[in-house]
Structure 1
Amino acid sequence: MTPIFKDPNAVLTYSIAWPPDTIGGAAISAASWSVMPDEPGGLAMSGEFVDGSETGARISGGLPGHVYRASCHIDLGDGRSADRSLLIRVDQR
């Protein structure tokens, strides 16, 4: 997985477009985001959203030189669930 680069001062919206073969025509009923490692001064999540087959969140902060895994878990209307992750490397720009 190739990391996405982020400045620690930037507040950016990241999103995941869930492919049809993952959701199989079902609606996304809930989405939750988490970040690892969870550390003081690390990435912070806010403004989580679901828009059709896309989920996203605003991500801020992070410690320069650190790599984080931002994960999104979705629940589908038909009872299934799925997870996807983004690798985010924080670099001072």
Structure 2
Amino acid sequence: MTMMVKDPGTRIDFEIDWAAAYPDGQAIVASAWAVVPDEEGGLSIAGSAHDLTQATVTLATGVAGHVYRVTNRVTMSDGQIDERSVAVRVEER
């Protein structure tokens, strides 16, 4: 799992490119993002979007010293469902 570092006062975009995993021309038809743990003042999803091959999330806030799992779950045009996660460590920078 990939690890990234984020300051609690920043908003950052993170993107997953699903095209390499599905090279046969399949497209993303639905995308959902989740953050665990869900806690007061914790890492939050400020926005999200997707196109045919990429899913993007905007992450905000977070408690310094905490680590969160951010998961993207997509449904592809052929009905397959897949997900990927990234760990986000929040630190004052």
Q: Which residue of 2 aligns with 1:90?
A: 90
Q: Which residue of 2 aligns with 1:53?
A: 53
Which protein has the bigger helix share? 1
The 1:54–1:41 alpha-carbon spacing in structure 2 relative to 1, beyond 3 Å, is same
Q: Which residue of 2 aligns with 1:6?
A: 6
- What do you get for the CA RMSD once the two structures are aligned? 1.3
Q: Which residue of 2 aligns with 1:35?
A: 35
Q: Percent identity at matched positions? A: 37
Q: Which residue of 1 aligns with 2:67?
A: 67
The 1:23–1:55 alpha-carbon spacing in structure 2 relative to 1, beyond 3 Å, is farther
TM-score normalised according to structure 1 size? 0.92
TM-score normalised according to structure 2 size? 0.92
Q: CA deviation at 1:3?
A: 1.6
**Residue-pair matches, total:** 93
The 1:45–1:56 alpha-carbon spacing in structure 2 relative to 1, beyond 3 Å, is same
Aligned equivalents of 2:27, 2:70: Cα separation in 1:
22
Q: CA deviation at 1:46?
A: 2.4
Q: Which stretch of the first structure deviates more once superposed, 23-32 or 82-91?
A: 23-32
Gaps of 5+ in 2: none
Q: Equivalent residue of 1:21, what SS? A: coil
